[in-house]
């Protein structure tokens, strides 16, 4: 597959060909997603929860995202990789935001960065874009604001908040976002966003409208079971498969059924005799 760039994503969008997006945090998953033909891989700060066992995304650092994005890049040379900007790496001021986004681009080799927020982030986004770094916006459920939102809850379910989301999408487009991720809002609201802005909208738990779909890979593979949002379709139950394999190993070792003769390195009879003599 040829390396996917922004014009390729736009070409898909213009042809009405849905864009596929999943998270990945490491080399093996990136390899598999590349093989499956996933267009956009997000190295998300959701790794705090899916990979590090934290309760929120807030403790994730830029160095963590960079290290993981480097591994993902090695596994997925042609996918369009988006690096997530962690909590407080872009909120303080524009200079810090540009410098941190630049580190993700230069040190991890991602194709774009993503950051959370609406109108209030527009100036910062414009500054990052001006510094040659493509930005994906992220509105709706924005997990870095969990304390203000009062939990991982769907957004835009009142007319007033829905109208604010449409205004946010407009502001992000005007600021220069090449695409916007809309997380956990009602499909009716996402539809209006899609009809209002020209840039491709990626839906995460926001219905079928838009340029494409995103899921957290650990959710859709059944590889994370602390909780599963309503919008996740489970395509596999990896947890159950893995536990089955691990239990079989434990049983085999206890019963001395493993290793078998096929799992050891043979030595010629002659060498064995010399050795034991």
Supply the residues annotated as catalytic: 183
Considering beta carbons, is residue 135 or 214 the nearer one to ligand KIV?
214
- In sequence order, the 6+-apart residues with CB closer than 8 A to the CB of 32 are none
Residue 214: contacted member of ligand KIV, Na ion, none (CB under 5 to 8 Å, by partner type) = ligand KIV
80/258 Cα distance (integer angstroms): 43
Shortest reach from residue 21's CB to ligand KIV, in Å: 8
Cβ atoms 128, 177 nearer than 8 A: no
Q: Which residue is nearest to ligand KIV (CB)?
A: 44
| DSSP secondary structure of 148-213 | HHTSS-----SHHHHHHHHHHHHHHHHHT-SEEEEES--HHHHHHHHHH-SSPEEEESS-S-SSEE
Site pattern 89..128 for ligand KIV (x: CB under 6 A): ----------------------------------------
Distance CA 166, CA 254 (A): 60
| 216 makes contact with ligand KIV (CB under 6 A) | yes
Q: According to the binding rule CB under 6 A, does residue 22 interact with ligand KIV?
A: no
Window of 39-47, 189-197, 256-264, 268-276 that interacts with ligand KIV by CB under 6 A: 39-47
Reading the block at residue 154, the tokens are 């769907």
Residue where the block lists tokens 């090695």: 74
Please identify which residue in 108, 169, 193, 214 interacts with ligand KIV, judged by CB under 6 A.
214
- Per CB under 5 A, 168 contacts Na ion: no
Candidates 20, 23, 179, 190; binder of ligand KIV (CB under 6 A) is: 23
Cα–Cα distance between 180 and 125 in angstroms, integer? 12
Among residues 204, 211, 220, 221, which is the contact residue for ligand KIV, using CB under 6 A?
204
Binding of ligand KIV at residue 44 (CB under 6 A)? yes
Rounded to whole angstroms, what are the CA distances from 99 to 70, 85, 106, 122, 124?
A: 18, 11, 10, 17, 12
Residues 175 and 122: beta-carbon distance below 8 Å:
yes
- Is residue 42 a contact point for ligand KIV (CB under 6 A)? yes
Binding-site members for 3-methyl-2-oxobutanoate are 45-46, 84, 114
């Amino acid at each position: 597959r040829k390396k996917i760039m922004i014009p390729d994503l736009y070409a898909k969008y213009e042809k009405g060909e849905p864009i596929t997006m999943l998270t990945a945090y490491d080399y093996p998953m990136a390899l598999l997603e590349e093989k499956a033909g996933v267009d956009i891989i997000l190295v998300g700060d959701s790794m705090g929860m899916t990979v590090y066992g934290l309760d929120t995304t807030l403790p994730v650092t830029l160095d963590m995202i960079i290290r993981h994005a480097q591994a993902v890049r090695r596994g997925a040379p042609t996918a369009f990789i988006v690096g997530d900007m962690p909590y407080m790496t872009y909120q303080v001021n524009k200079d810090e935001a540009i410098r941190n986004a630049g580190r993700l681009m230069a040190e991890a080799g991602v194709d774009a960065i993503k950051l959370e927020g609406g109108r209030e982030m527009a100036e910062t986004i414009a500054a990052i874009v001006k510094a040659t770094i493509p930005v994906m916006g992220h509105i709706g459920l924005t997990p870095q604001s969990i304390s203000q939102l009062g939990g991982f809850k769907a957004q835009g379910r009142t007319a007033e908040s829905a109208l604010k989301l449409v205004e946010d999408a407009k502001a992000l487009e005007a600021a220069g976002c090449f695409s916007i991720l809309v997380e956990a809002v009602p499909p009716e609201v996402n539809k209006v966003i899609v009809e209002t802005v020209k840039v491709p909208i990626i839906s995460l738990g926001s219905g079928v409208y838009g340029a494409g779909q995103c899921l957290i890979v650990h959710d859709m593979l059944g590889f994370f079971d602390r909780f599963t949002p309503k919008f996740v379709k489970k395509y596999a139950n990896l947890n159950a498969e893995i536990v089955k394999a691990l239990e079989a190993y434990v049983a085999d070792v206890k019963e001395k059924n493993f290793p078998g003769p096929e799992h050891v390195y043979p030595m010629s009879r002659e060498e064995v005799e010399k050795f034991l003599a």
